[in-house]
């Protein structure tokens, strides 16, 4: 049963800019989307949505931009869109329910580079979001997480299109996994990359896709892809398992002394790739450094860290400003350990304003790999560290291609061994029919959605967003574009994350007449050309 969430009129008026005068035309919608050459499914999804919205009298300007740049800048930094086709990848650490709720939609996270790219603001949502992160009792916390999902369905700052099924393929003549682990990220998960074993004479696994790993500086990482590659070069204290369990990496133990004090003990005897030892001083330095320089991917996770204290060479004590339930999974599970002797003098030695300006072409890290070479725009070669506490099985060579079709063809012929490019669902049957190809499917906690800029000239109006909830051809997108390899979901927390997913909310359903009815009841009108007009103010 769906509960209605009441928002006071005063709070609503404060949060709603009055763009529209009486009977004004709804402006042209700037729809930021993905390039069809490399992300055909996303691009086609945008076209399906635009076609239905135009039936309601909206004028759509589709704007396909190259990913990652300039699309990421328009999306996360400049908020240069009215609506963006958002695809947030699944990952084990994103099973933490704060990620797909409070982190994404709390008004405090609306600044450039933060997660609330649509600049959504609801005082009640913020209050509940800030409350739930302080609660360690999962049952009590779940009640609030359910309410947050209800508010999002009611307000529609983000229309969830589907949950993701990650599909990847490997050439099994050339490589194999030494124990593949099902994961929301599929074969791309770090835990699976280190277990890739080459069958070639040269102990090297060749990986192809259309995205270049251009950022090797962990202080400058902005995307999950950039953090993935960094996690192979720089150890994290923990990796999060596919079921949300803690897998110790550099850490040997994590002890919660109180709601605001956590003690971490790290491995002794481990070294960075230059031979220098990894100590508790490096751990403290890394957290302090990332916070000081406002590393974009980690700033939010570090905001509640009040102090990091070195207890002894292998022990660190974290003191938080307040109880913070996501700390272990979101903070300890994502932060990297940097070598203090490399990074501390770096800004002064290079004469730069910020460490994010550092290219870091030859990273010194304690992770399971080190960079052998990088050829900009074409290749990145990672050499395994046999002296690591979890030594990989093979070297990795990432090869950049210009289109998804070329990646797939290279996999078939054996030029590459693994495709990190998501396999289009329509191509699955063809690949499965080949004797040398094995396809891996992973149910993901990631989602595809339409994120509205709620402070912009179009989607400030909640009634318009609520109407468009019914003007999306959800089932057609799943069936025709994804060939059934996706699933409808009512909220940003998908059924894969079963404990935190609210099952009491309505499954999205296309109903154009319902959309039109909501618009009419809200006072929208249409002119003689069928163009949609805002209600009179």
Query: pLDDT of 439-468, one tens digit each?
Result: 999 889 999 999 999 999 999 999 999 999
Residues 458 and 17: their CA atoms lie apart, in Å, by 11
- pLDDT band at 140; cut points 50, 70, 90: very high
Q: Please give the torsion angle defined by the CA atoms of residues 166, 172, 177 and 181, in that order, rounded to the nearest 10 degrees.
A: 30
- pLDDT band at 6; cut points 50, 70, 90: very low
Same domain as 320, residue 355: no
CATH label of the domain that carries residue 322: 3.90.76.10
Give me the half-sphere count of Cα atoms (radius 13 Å) on the Cβ side of residue 36: 8
Cα 42 versus chain centre, distance:
15
Residue 222's pLDDT is what?
Answer: 86
Residue 244's pLDDT is what?
Answer: 84
Percent pLDDT > 90 in the chain is 85
Averaged over 396-422, what is the pLDDT? 95
Domain boundary among 424, 441, 458: 441
For 404, the token pair is 């998804």
Averaged over 345-368, what is the pLDDT? 96
Same domain as 331, residue 246: yes
Using one digit for the tens of pLDDT, what is the confidence trace for 80-106?
999 999 999 999 999 999 999 999 999
Q: Please report where in the chains the tokens 């949502």 appear, as a residue.
A: 125
Residue 182 backbone class (left: φ over 0; alpha: ψ -120 to 50; beta: rest)? beta
Determine, yes or no, domain membership for 280.
Answer: yes
Same domain as 330, residue 245: yes
**Burial state string for 237-249 with b = 16 or more CB within 10 A and e = fewer than 16:** bbbbebeeebebb
Q: Is the pLDDT of residue 4 over 70?
A: no
Percent pLDDT > 70 in the chain is 96
Q: Is the pLDDT of residue 240 over 50?
A: yes
For 496, the token pair is 């894969």
- pLDDT band at 12; cut points 50, 70, 90: very low
CATH label of the domain that carries residue 178: 3.40.190.10
DSSP 18-33: ----TTPBPPPEEEEE
The secondary structure of 61-113, three-state, reads EEEECCCCCCHHHHHHHCCCCCEEEEEECCCHHHHCCCHHHHHHHCHHHCCCC
Averaged over 288-305, what is the pLDDT? 93
Q: Is the pLDDT of residue 2 over 50?
A: no
Determine, yes or no, domain membership for 461.
Answer: no
Range of the domain at 289: 238-339
Q: Which of 45-59, 243-257, 418-432 has the highest mean pLDDT?
A: 45-59
Q: Is the pLDDT of residue 169 over 70?
A: yes
**First and final CA of the chain: distance in angstroms?**
33
Using one digit for the tens of pLDDT, what is the confidence trace for 368-389?
999 999 999 999 999 999 999 9
Peptide bond into 134 cis (omega under 30): no
Q: Is the pLDDT of residue 323 over 50?
A: yes
Same domain as 244, residue 193: no
Domain boundary among 409, 441, 473: 441
CA 343 vs CA 147, 214, 226, 228, 315: distances in Å: 43, 20, 19, 20, 21
Same domain as 246, residue 218: no
Q: The whole model's pTM is what?
A: 0.87
Same domain as 260, residue 328: yes
Same domain as 406, residue 282: no
Determine, yes or no, domain membership for 171.
Answer: yes
Averaged over 390-404, what is the pLDDT? 96
Same domain as 362, residue 418: yes
Q: What angle do CA 307, 312, 318 make, to 5 degrees?
A: 20
- pLDDT band at 254; cut points 50, 70, 90: very high
Domain boundary among 441, 461, 493: 441
Tally of domains in the chain: 2
Same domain as 431, residue 366: yes
CA 3 vs CA 56, 151, 162, 514: distances in Å: 28, 9, 22, 20
Same domain as 257, residue 402: no
Same domain as 221, residue 171: yes
């Amino acid at each position: 049963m769906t509960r209605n969430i009441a928002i006071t009129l005063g709070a609503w008026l404060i949060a709603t800019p009055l763009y529209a005068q009486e009977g004004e035309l709804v402006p042209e919608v700037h729809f930021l989307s993905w390039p069809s050459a490399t992300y055909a499914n996303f691009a086609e999804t945008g076209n399906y949505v635009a076609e239905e919205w135009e039936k309601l009298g909206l004028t759509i300007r589709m704007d396909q931009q190259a990913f990652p740049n300039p699309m990421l800048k328009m999306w996360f930094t400049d908020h240069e869109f009215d609506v963006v086709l958002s695809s947030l990848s699944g990952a084990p650490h994103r099973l933490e329910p704060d990620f797909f709720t409070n982190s994404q939609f709390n008004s405090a996270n609306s600044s450039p580079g933060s997660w609330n790219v649509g600049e959504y603001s609801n005082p009640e949502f913020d209050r509940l979001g800030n409350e739930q992160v302080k609660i360690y009792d999962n049952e009590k916390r779940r009640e609030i997480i359910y309410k947050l999902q209800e508010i999002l369905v009611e307000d529609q700052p983000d229309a969830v299109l589907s949950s993701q099924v990650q599909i990847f393929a490997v050439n099994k003549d050339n490589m194999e996994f030494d124990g593949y682990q099902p994961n929301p990220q599929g074969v791309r998960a770090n835990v699976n990359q280190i277990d890739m074993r080459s069958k070639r004479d040269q102990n090297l696994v060749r990986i192809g896709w259309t995205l270049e790993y251009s950022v090797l500086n962990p202080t400058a990482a902005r995307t999950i892809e950039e953090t993935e590659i960094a996690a192979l070069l720089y150890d994290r204290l923990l990796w999060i398992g596919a079921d949300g369990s803690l897998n110790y990496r550099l850490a040997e133990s994590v002890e919660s002394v109180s709601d605001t004090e956590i003690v971490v003990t790290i491995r002794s005897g481990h070294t960075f790739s230059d031979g220098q030892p990894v100590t508790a001083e490096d751990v403290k330095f890394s957290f302090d450094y990332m916070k000081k320089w406002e590393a974009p991917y980690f700033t939010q996770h570090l905001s509640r860290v009040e102090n990091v204290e070195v207890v002894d060479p292998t022990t660190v004590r974290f003191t938080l400003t307040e109880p913070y339930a996501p700390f272990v999974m979101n903070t300890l599970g994502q932060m990297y350990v940097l070598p203090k002797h490399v990074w501390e003098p770096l800004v002064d030695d290079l004469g730069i304003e910020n460490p994010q300006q550092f290219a870091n072409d030859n990273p010194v890290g304690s992770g399971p790999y080190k960079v052998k070479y990088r050829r900009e725009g074409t290749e990145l070669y990672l050499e395994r560290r046999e002296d690591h506490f979890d030594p990989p099985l093979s070297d990795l060579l990432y090869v950049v291609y210009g289109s998804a079709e070329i990646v797939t063809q290279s996999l078939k012929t054996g030029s590459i061994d693994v495709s990190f490019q998501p396999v289009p669902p329509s191509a699955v049957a063809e690949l499965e029919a080949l004797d040398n190809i094995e396809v891996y499917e992973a149910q993901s906690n990631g989602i595809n959605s339409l994120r509205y800029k709620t402070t912009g000239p179009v989607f400030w109006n909640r009634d318009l967003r609520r109407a468009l909830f019914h003007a999306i051809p959800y089932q057609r997108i799943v069936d025709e574009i994804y060939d059934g390899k996706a699933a409808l979901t009512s909220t940003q927390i998908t059924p894969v994350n079963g404990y935190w997913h609210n099952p009491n909310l309505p499954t999205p359903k296309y109903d154009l007449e319902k959309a039109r009815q909501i618009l009419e009841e809200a006072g929208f009108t249409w002119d003689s050309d069928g163009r949609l007009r805002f209600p009179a103010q």
